[in-house]
Chains A and B, each alone.
Chain A
Amino acid sequence: MIREAAGDLRRGRQTSLSLTTAALDRIARLHGSLRAFITVTAEPALARARQADAELAAGHDRGALHGLPVSVKDLFATRGILTTGGSRVYRARVPDFNSTVVKRLEAAGAVLVGKNNLHELAYGVTSANPHFGAVVNPWDPQRSPGGSSGGSAAALAAGLVHGAMGTDTGGSIRIPASFCGVVGLKPTYGRVSRYGVLPLAYTLDHAGPLAASVRDAALLLNAVAGHDPADPSSSRRPVVDFAPAPGCSIRGLRIGIPENFFFERLDPEVNDAVRGALERARSLGAGLKPVRVPDMAAINAVARIVQLAEAASVLGPLLERRDELGGDVQALIDQGRLVGATDYLDAQRLRRRYQREFAGLWSEIDCIAAPTTPLTAPEVGQTSVRLGGEDEDARLAVTRLVRGINLLGLPAISIPCGLSGTGMPIGLQIIGPAFDEATVLTAAAALEDASVGISACPFDGR
């Protein structure tokens, strides 16, 4: 946990060098069985750790992340460090600049120990990367870690880093967070700069933290949030301290419980765990209010049109090197090339309509709670799942409860809320109004404080 490690550093119980060395040792020991990293930046990390220690000794304290080992998904540009996007086509790409997120993490004193493995080009939800190896779910190697930020989530679950940054275009932070039993926050669109992030879909891409706890996620968000003139979609909304206060309360919080869509066709264990967490929220004084949400199936379809078209625009030129791309990514780019310009514009017009419809909910409720995924991590290679008596494409099922939130641009967090009978984590999703990450984080932290969560992943690499 960030706060504890930060305390240890300042009390002299640890140094940044000892924490970084321990992280690098563990990464080296477990890399073969997890494949959570594409590049490990050992030498620069050790140099940075020494610098962090020297700064603290000299009284220069950069804040909560100072001296702590973190990692970023390998699509954040890092100056002088390989940035592959998880694709063979970018296997030799070494940017000469830092993404804004990396720049801000460094300014906050964090020590970058490596670049996390991911689904190729962030275009998929399995992180079964054909070029850099399939990321392994630390809870069960036979189960998917989710994606596309699978390496970031696996690294956290296995205790390799104190925090990680991922991206989320159709659930790519929240899905792996749910499957790997960690916290994943997709902030509001525009809250965190996309500058220097390899794009997938310009109007759906979000950068955000994955962490071992809600408060850790908030501390990471504190470091990276805020306006960036280099990102045309970056918001000028003021940034607050997102870290929930100790003992924060949700008494009186109006939590919307969707009557439609979000609790349909669920694995019964997911339903039970999420509803159990909601009862815990009620016992803490929150009001649970049934709500009808706009047509999420339609919103998902609109989101898919937008993503297919934008991703084809971004990635289409890579088809000149088709043989170097994974088959699933090729197929999605090809699908996108067949989405017409009028369909794309119609999708963006529908987006406006659904944004307005959804905004109407916030006068009745403060946030929405729902499962993150309708099932726990499917088996590696599983292409179809059976839920509610119906067979469903695994990829569509896994993204069903998260994708639409990207179209709406709303902040959403996934926190672990229980384990299935087979010992796999279950995620609870809390969605809030635009730019109200504070409420989302406070609700999540209050539940975490009330023991909604899971024990640490027992993974030891054997």
Chain B
Amino acid sequence: MKKDWQAMAQARGLEIPAGEWGRIGPALDALEEVFRPLAARLPPELEPALVFRAGEADE
């Protein structure tokens, strides 16, 4: 099922000019088609490639 990008933008309060949708919707649709099946069956133990280490704050 295709996502309704305009409705999503509205729900998130994103202001995107009407003239931009021709460059946004088709590009995201095409990306979704490849990405969605990949993300559909990830095992829970597969952690993201992002690491947080407590005690290593650099600020």
In the bound complex, CA of A337 to CA of B14 (Å): 8
Partner of B23, one of A203, A331, A346, A352: A331
**Contact present for A335 and B42 (CB under 8 Å):** no
- Contact A302 to B35, CB < 8 A, known contacts A345-B48, A349-B48, A353-B46: yes
Query: For A322, what are the chain B residues with a Cβ–Cβ distance below 8 Å?
Result: 17
Asked if B50 is at the interface of the complex by the 8 Å CB criterion, the answer is yes
**Contact present for A348 and B50 (CB under 8 Å):** yes
**Contact present for B35 and A335 (CB under 8 Å):** no
- Contact A203 to B50, CB < 8 A, known contacts A338-B5, A347-B39: yes
- Contact A330 to B5, CB < 8 A, known contacts A335-B27, A338-B28, A348-B50: no
Query: Interface 1/0s, chain A 404-427, versus B by CB < 8 A?
Result: 000000000000000000000000
Asked if A334 is at the interface of the complex by the 8 Å CB criterion, the answer is yes
Asked if A57 is at the interface of the complex by the 8 Å CB criterion, the answer is no
The smallest beta-carbon distance between B45 and chain A, in angstroms, is 10
From 9 to 59 in chain B, residues with beta carbon under 8 angstroms from any chain A beta carbon are: 9, 12, 14, 16-17, 20, 23-24, 27-28, 31, 34-35, 38-39, 42, 46-50, 58
**Contact present for A343 and B39 (CB under 8 Å):** yes
**Contact present for B39 and A346 (CB under 8 Å):** yes
Asked if A351 is at the interface of the complex by the 8 Å CB criterion, the answer is yes
Query: For B8, what are the chain A residues with a Cβ–Cβ distance below 8 Å?
Result: 338
In the bound complex, CA of A330 to CA of B14 (Å): 13
Partner of A334, one of B20, B31, B42, B58: B20
Query: For A350, what are the chain B residues with a Cβ–Cβ distance below 8 Å?
Result: 38-39, 42
- Contact A305 to B48, CB < 8 A, known contacts A343-B39, A350-B39: no
From 294 to 321 in chain A, residues with beta carbon under 8 angstroms from any chain B beta carbon are: 297-298, 301-302, 304-305, 308
**Contact present for A352 and B46 (CB under 8 Å):** yes
Query: For A351, what are the chain B residues with a Cβ–Cβ distance below 8 Å?
Result: 48-49
- CB-based nearest B residue for A407: B49
Asked if A232 is at the interface of the complex by the 8 Å CB criterion, the answer is yes
Query: For B39, what are the chain A residues with a Cβ–Cβ distance below 8 Å?
Result: 343, 346-347, 350
Query: For B17, what are the chain A residues with a Cβ–Cβ distance below 8 Å?
Result: 322
- CB-based nearest A residue for B15: A319
The range of chain A's interface size is 20 to 34
In the bound complex, CA of A349 to CA of B58 (Å): 25
Query: Interface 1/0s, chain A 277-290, versus B by CB < 8 A?
Result: 00000000000000
Partner of A343, one of B14, B24, B35: B35
- CB-based nearest B residue for A312: B14
Partner of A347, one of B5, B12, B35: B35
**Contact present for A304 and B12 (CB under 8 Å):** no
Partner of B31, one of A305, A328, A346, A349: A305
**Contact present for B49 and A355 (CB under 8 Å):** yes
In the bound complex, CA of A327 to CA of B20 (Å): 9
In the bound complex, CA of A345 to CA of B38 (Å): 12
- Contact A335 to B38, CB < 8 A, known contacts A229-B58, A352-B47, A352-B48: no
Query: For A355, what are the chain B residues with a Cβ–Cβ distance below 8 Å?
Result: 49
- CB-based nearest B residue for A297: B34
The smallest beta-carbon distance between A333 and chain B, in angstroms, is 10
In the bound complex, CA of A334 to CA of B17 (Å): 10
Query: For B14, what are the chain A residues with a Cβ–Cβ distance below 8 Å?
Result: 334, 337-338
In the bound complex, CA of A347 to CA of B39 (Å): 7
Query: For A330, what are the chain B residues with a Cβ–Cβ distance below 8 Å?
Result: 20
Query: For B5, what are the chain A residues with a Cβ–Cβ distance below 8 Å?
Result: 338
The smallest beta-carbon distance between A81 and chain B, in angstroms, is 26
Query: For A229, what are the chain B residues with a Cβ–Cβ distance below 8 Å?
Result: 58
Query: For A331, what are the chain B residues with a Cβ–Cβ distance below 8 Å?
Result: 20, 23-24, 27
- CB-based nearest A residue for B9: A338
**Contact present for A349 and B34 (CB under 8 Å):** no
**Contact present for B24 and A338 (CB under 8 Å):** yes
**Contact present for A335 and B24 (CB under 8 Å):** yes
**Contact present for B28 and A348 (CB under 8 Å):** no
The smallest beta-carbon distance between B26 and chain A, in angstroms, is 10
The smallest beta-carbon distance between B8 and chain A, in angstroms, is 6
A301-B38, A350-B38 given; 20 more Cβ-contact pairs under 8 Å = A203-B49, A232-B58, A298-B34, A301-B31, A301-B35, A302-B35, A308-B31, A328-B23, A331-B24, A331-B27, A334-B14, A335-B24, A338-B5, A338-B9, A338-B12, A343-B35, A343-B39, A349-B49, A352-B46, A355-B49
